[in-house]
C-alpha cells in the first residue's frame, strides 16, 4: 500500500468527529476570547503552508480545525454583535444542517428532505403572512432571492406584451423598475444581471421616516408611461436594512395594480416583523404582492445561506428559469406508477424555479427552527428584539447627550452622541470616531448608517443570544465612552 493510498479520506466515524467539533463550538460559544485579529500572526503562521504533498491523518486535520480554525472564527454570533443583519445560528439549525450534509447532499428525490423543503416553505409563508397561494423556492440568500423574484417579474411583464424573454430574449423596449431611495442594493444588481439594467431602477423619494412616498411613485410611473417605458416591477421594502422602515404597502401595491405592474415585496430582513401585533398593521397590503422574499438566516437565526422567494404563480418561475430536461437527470428517472426507489422521481423540481441546479436541502434547517420554537416562540423573539430597539430609542430621547434619529419601526435603532455644550464642530466625525472606539475597546459591535443626512450608530437586534442586560450595558458604555472622548478634546 502506498502512502497516498493510506491517506485516503475518512468516510465514517461521524460520531467521534462531530462530538469533538460540538465540544469546540460549545467552547467557542462562551465568547471569552479576544478578537481573532489580536492573534492574527499566530494563526496565520500555523495555517499558511504550501500545498500538501501527502495528506494527514484525520485526527491531525481535526486537531488543526479545533485548535486553530474554530477558536479564531467570526464574532458575529456574540451577544453584542448588532451590525450585519445575520447572526449566529441556533443549536437545532446547526444540527439539522450538519445532518443534511451527508443524509441529503441534494434537495431532490423522493426523500423526507424533499418533503420538508416544501413543508417548511409553506410554514414560512404562513408565518410571514403570505397566503397559501404563494409558493416558493429556497436560494442562498436575499441577493439571489431578489434576482429570482425580479426574474419572474421580467418573465411575466414581457409576456404581457407577447414576448417570452427566457426563450427568445428581449428587444429594444425600454423598461423600468421602481423602488425607494432606501431599497437594498441587491435590487440594482439583480436588474444588472437580468439585463434590465441598473439605470432602469427609478429611485423614488422617501419621507422623513425613510418610507417610499406613493405619490412620487405614481408621478414617476406617469412620466415613464408617457415616454413608452414598460413598467416591469414595483418594489416595496418590508423593513429596510438601514433603518427598518416599512414602505406603505397597500398604497404602493394599489399604484402597481392600477398600472398593471408586478408588485414585489423585499422582506429579506423585516417580513417576520408581521408577527409583532404592535406593527402588524404596517404590513397591510401584503396580500397584493405578486412576489415576496424573506431570509431565514436573518431574523430566524438559520445558518447563513438561506433565502426564500415566494410567488403567486410558481409556473412563472418555471418558464423563467427552466434548464430544459437533461438526459442524465430527468432521463434517468422512471416515473412509473410503482415507485420503489427514491430515485424513481426527482421530487419537486426546485432547479427549474431558480438559478441553482445543485443545492442542499435548506428547508430542513428552517423546518427545525419552526418546529422547535413554534409560532408563539418566534413571535416572542420578534417582539423582544423590537423592544430592544425601542429601549435604545427611548433611552436616547431621555438622555441629555444622546439623540434618537428615528422612531424604530422594527428592531433597528439609530442614535448618536451629542456633547452637552456642543464643543465638537462635526458631530458626524465625532460619532464615527466613537463607533470605532466602541468596536475596538468593548464587546459591542453595532454598525452605522446615515439618517436624514446625519451619521447614526445603528444597532440591529436579531441576535438570539442578546439579553436586555446587554442592551442596557451598551447604552451606559456608549455614554461613558463619549463622555471620555469629550473630556480628551483639546
Q: What is the mean pLDDT of residues 370-387?
A: 98
**CB count, 10 Å around CB of 25?**
17
Say if residues 317 and 311 touch (Cβ distance below 8 Å).
Answer: yes
Sequential DSSP letters for 288-342: G-SEEEE-TTSTT-PPSS-EEEEES-HHHHHHHH-----TTTGGG----SS--ST
With cut-offs at 50, 70 and 90, classify the pLDDT of residue 166. Answer: confident
In the chain, the percentage of residues whose pLDDT exceeds 70 is 95
> Minimum mean pLDDT among 121-130, 295-304, 360-369, 413-422: which range?
413-422
Over residues 423-430, the mean pLDDT reads 82
Q: What pLDDT was estimated at residue 2?
A: 47
- Sequence ranges of the domains in the chain: 13-73, 92-371, 378-487
Tell me which of 8-22, 154-168, 319-333, 468-482 is least confident.
319-333
Span 205-214, mean pLDDT?
Answer: 97
In this predicted structure, what is the pLDDT of residue 1? 41
Chain position carrying cell 397597500: 250
pLDDT at 6: 54
pLDDT at position 81: 96
**What is the percent of the chain where pLDDT is above 90?**
84
What's the grid cell of residue 206?
422617501
For residue 341, pLDDT over 70 is answered with: yes
Residue 85's Cβ-count burial label (10 Å; 0-12, 13-18, 19+) is buried
The neighbouring-strand residues paired with 415 are 404, 457
What average pLDDT does range 39-63 have in this prediction?
94
Question: Which residues make Cβ contacts (< 8 Å) with residue 250, sequence separation at least 6?
Answer: 284, 285, 288
Which pLDDT value is given to residue 325?
66
For residue 424, the model assigns a pLDDT of 62
**pLDDT band for position 329 (cuts 50, 70, 90):** low
Q: What phi and psi values does residue 26 have, to the nearest 5 degrees?
A: -60, -40
pLDDT digits (tens, 9 = 90+) for 437-448: 999 999 999 999
Q: Are 414 and 449 in contact (CB under 8 A)?
A: yes
Segment 327-339 shows an average pLDDT of 61
pLDDT band at 388 (very low <50, low <70, confident <90, very high): very high
pLDDT at 483 over 70: yes
For residue 484, count CB atoms less than 10 angstroms from its CB and return exposed for 0-12, middle for 13-18, buried for 19 or more.
exposed
Residue 145 pLDDT more than 70?
yes
Over range 261-277, report the average pLDDT: 98
Those residues whose C-beta lies under 8 Å from the C-beta of residue 279, and which sit 6 or more positions away, are 246, 273, 386, 409, 410
Could you please report the per-residue DSSP string of 156-224? Answer: HHHHTTT--HHHH---S--EEEEEETT--THHHHHHHHTTS-GGGEEEE-B-TTS-B-HHHHHHHHHHH
Does 7 have pLDDT greater than 60? no
So what CATH class is 92-371?
alpha beta
pLDDT at res. 328:
53
pLDDT band at 187 (very low <50, low <70, confident <90, very high): very high
Q: Is the pLDDT of residue 49 over 70?
A: yes
Strand order of the sheet with strand 230-237? 135-139, 307-311, 291-294, 262-266, 230-237, 175-180, 201-204
What confidence tens digit (pLDDT) does each residue in 226-251 have? 999 999 999 999 999 999 999 999 99
CATH topology (fold) of 378-487:
3.90.1150
* Average pLDDT over every residue of 192-218: 95
The whole-number pLDDT of residue 170 equals 77
For 202, the grid coordinates are 427609478
DSSP string, 451-483: ETTEEEEE-B---TT--HHHHHHHHHHHHHHHH
Lowest mean pLDDT among 121-135, 320-334, 395-409: 320-334
pLDDT band at 490 (very low <50, low <70, confident <90, very high): confident
Hey, which residues does 178 pair with through a beta bridge? 202, 234
| Per-residue pLDDT reduced to its tens digit, 305-328 | 999 999 999 999 999 999 876 655
- The predicted pLDDT at position 337 comes to 64
Going by pLDDT thresholds of 50, 70 and 90, the confidence category of residue 421 is confident
Amino acid at each position: 500500500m502506498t502512502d497516498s493510498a493510506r491517506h485516503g479520506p475518512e468516510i465514517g466515524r461521524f460520531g467521534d468527529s462531530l462530538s469533538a467539533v460540538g465540544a469546540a463550538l460549545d467552547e467557542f460559544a462562551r465568547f471569552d476570547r479576544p478578537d481573532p485579529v489580536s492573534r492574527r500572526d499566530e494563526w496565520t503562521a500555523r495555517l499558511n503552508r504550501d500545498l500538501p504533498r501527502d495528506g494527514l491523518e484525520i485526527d491531525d486535520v481535526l486537531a488543526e480545525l479545533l485548535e486553530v480554525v474554530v477558536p479564531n472564527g467570526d464574532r458575529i454570533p456574540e451577544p453584542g454583535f448588532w451590525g450585519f443583519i445575520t447572526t449566529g445560528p441556533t443549536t437545532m439549525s446547526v444540527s439539522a444542517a450538519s445532518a443534511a450534509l451527508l443524509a441529503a447532499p441534494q434537495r431532490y428525490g423522493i426523500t423526507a428532505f424533499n418533503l420538508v423543503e416544501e413543508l417548511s416553505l409553506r410554514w414560512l409563508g404562513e408565518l410571514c403572512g403570505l397566503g397559501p397561494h404563494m409558493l416558493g423556492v429556497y436560494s442562498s440568500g436575499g441577493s439571489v432571492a431578489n434576482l429570482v423574484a425580479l426574474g419572474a417579474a421580467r418573465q411575466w411583464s414581457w409576456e404581457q406584451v407577447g414576448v417570452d424573454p427566457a426563450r427568445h430574449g428581449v428587444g429594444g423596449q425600454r423598461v423600468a423598475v421602481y423602488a425607494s431611495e432606501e431599497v437594498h442594493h441587491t435590487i440594482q444588481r439583480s436588474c444588472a444581471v437580468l439585463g434590465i439594467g441598473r439605470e432602469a431602477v427609478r429611485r423614488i423619494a422617501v419621507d422623513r421616516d425613510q418610507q417610499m412616498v406613493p405619490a412620487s411613485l405614481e408621478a414617476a410611473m406617469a412620466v415613464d408611461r408617457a415616454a413608452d417605458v414598460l413598467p416591469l416591477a414595483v418594489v416595496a421594502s418590508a423593513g429596510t436594512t438601514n433603518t427598518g422602515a416599512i414602505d406603505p404597502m397597500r398604497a404602493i401595491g394599489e399604484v402597481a395594480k392600477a398600472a398593471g405592474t408586478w408588485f414585489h415585496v423585499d422582506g429579506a430582513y423585516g417580513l417576520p416583523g408581521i408577527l409583532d401585533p404592535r406593527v402588524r398593521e404596517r404590513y397591510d397590503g401584503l396580500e397584493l404582492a405578486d412576489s415576496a422574499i424573506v431570509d431565514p438566516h436573518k431574523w430566524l437565526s438559520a445558518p447563513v445561506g438561506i433565502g426564500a422567494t415566494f410567488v403567486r404563480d410558481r409556473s412563472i418561475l418555471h418558464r423563467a428559469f427552466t434548464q430544459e430536461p437533461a438526459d442524465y437527470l430527468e432521463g434517468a428517472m422512471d416515473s412509473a406508477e410503482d415507485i420503489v426507489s427514491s430515485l424513481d422521481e426527482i421530487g419537486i423540481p426546485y432547479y427549474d424555479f431558480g438559478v441553482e441546479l445543485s443545492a442542499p436541502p435548506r428547508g430542513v434547517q428552517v423546518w427545525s427552527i419552526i418546529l422547535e420554537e413554534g409560532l408563539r416562540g418566534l413571535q416572542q423573539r420578534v417582539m423582544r428584539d423590537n423592544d430592544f430597539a425601542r429601549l435604545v430609542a427611548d433611552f436616547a430621547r431621555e438622555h441629555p447627550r444622546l439623540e434618537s434619529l428615528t422612531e424604530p419601526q422594527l428592531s433597528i435603532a439609530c442614535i448618536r452622541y451629542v456633547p452637552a455644550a456642543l464643543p465638537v464642530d462635526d458631530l458626524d466625525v465625532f460619532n464615527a470616531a466613537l463607533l470605532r472606539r466602541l468596536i475596538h475597546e468593548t464587546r459591542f459591535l453595532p454598525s452605522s448608517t446615515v439618517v436624514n443626512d446625519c451619521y447614526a450608530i445603528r444597532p440591529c437586534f436579531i441576535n438570539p443570544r442578546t439579553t436586555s442586560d446587554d442592551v442596557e450595558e451598551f447604552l451606559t458604555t456608549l455614554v461613558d465612552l463619549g463622555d471620555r472622548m469629550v473630556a480628551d478634546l483639546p
